[in-house]
A and B are shown apart, each in its own frame.
Chain A
Amino acid sequence: AQSVTQLGSHVSVSEGALVLLRCNYSSSVPPYLFWYVQYPNQGLQLLLKYTTGATLVKGINGFEAEFKKSETSFHLTKPSAHMSDAAEYFCAVSDNNNAGNMLTFGGGTRLMVKP
């Protein structure tokens, strides 16, 4: 069975500071990894995904994540936080044994950006 752990349900950074949201997963087979973001009163929006190939993945709004197999991690980063980044972020995993593509989510991390 797959599982996802997001360390820190709430993260607060100052505007302009580095954003680091942590995600660790467990999967018995090579995973597909996703980060979704949910802005207030909106649905989940895909930020970026890793399936195969390059382990450093760039997404929208300046975010990127690096797949580290040895650490079973897929942490999300952004060099400089903007006020508009305040939202809830979800890490999710599926795998190539799962023909249905169902996603297993972490608990979410709410990012707050201070002026």
Chain B
Amino acid sequence: EAGVTQFPSHSVIEKGQTVTLRCDPISGHDNLYWYRRVMGKEIKFLLHFVKESKQDESGMPNNRFLAERTGGTYSTLKVQPAELEDSGVYFCASSQMRQPGLWQYFGPGTRLTVT
């Protein structure tokens, strides 16, 4: 079984540019999560999809961030325009059912550097 995959693994962009991160969850997993770790800080929740619907986007920092999950499969997270403080590692995770206590499978993350 393939795990959660993320693309690209690294991205270096200039302030003001646009970047799109992609996450492919484990096949059959309805729940998809985005998290972010800014350097030196803890991993923080961004948002949660159930299939193609946004269940909770309370962690999205501002309207420069747009997440989509077309057809309930892969998800993209677009940052437009990118700012210096957006640098960090963006993790995607997925889980099969919405069940309290069920763990999430994480991808390797995308390291975003905004210069």
State the A residues within 8 Å of B (CB): 4, 32, 34, 36, 41-46, 49, 51-52, 90, 92, 94-96, 98-108
Contacts and interface: CB of A to CB of B under 8 A. Distances in A.
17 contacts: A32-B100, A34-B103, A41-B108, A43-B4, A43-B105, A51-B100, A90-B43, A94-B100, A100-B55, A101-B48, A101-B99, A101-B101, A101-B102, A102-B33, A102-B59, A105-B44, A107-B42
Given A100-B48, A100-B56, A102-B33, A107 B41 contact: yes
A76 to B, nearest CB: 15
Nearest to B109: A43
B8 to A, nearest CB: 14
B16 interface: no
Given A43-B109, A44-B91, A105 B43 contact: yes
A90 B101 CA distance: 16
Contacts of A105: 35, 42-44
B101 A94 contact: yes
Contact of A43 (B44, B91, B98): B91
Contacts of B103: 34, 46, 49
B18 to A, nearest CB: 25
A72 B4 CA distance: 32
Of the listed residues B33, B35, B100, B104, the one surrounded by the most CB atoms of chain A closer than 10 A to its CB is B100
Interface string B1-40: 0011000000000000000000000000001010100000
A57 B60 CA distance: 33
Given A43-B105, A94-B100, A99-B98, 10 more contacts: A44-B91, A44-B93, A52-B101, A96-B100, A100-B98, A101-B95, A102-B59, A105-B35, A106-B42, A107-B42
A32 B107 CA distance: 21
Contact of A99 (B3, B93, B100, B109): B100
Nearest to B95: A101
Contacts of A41: 108
A105 B106 CA distance: 13
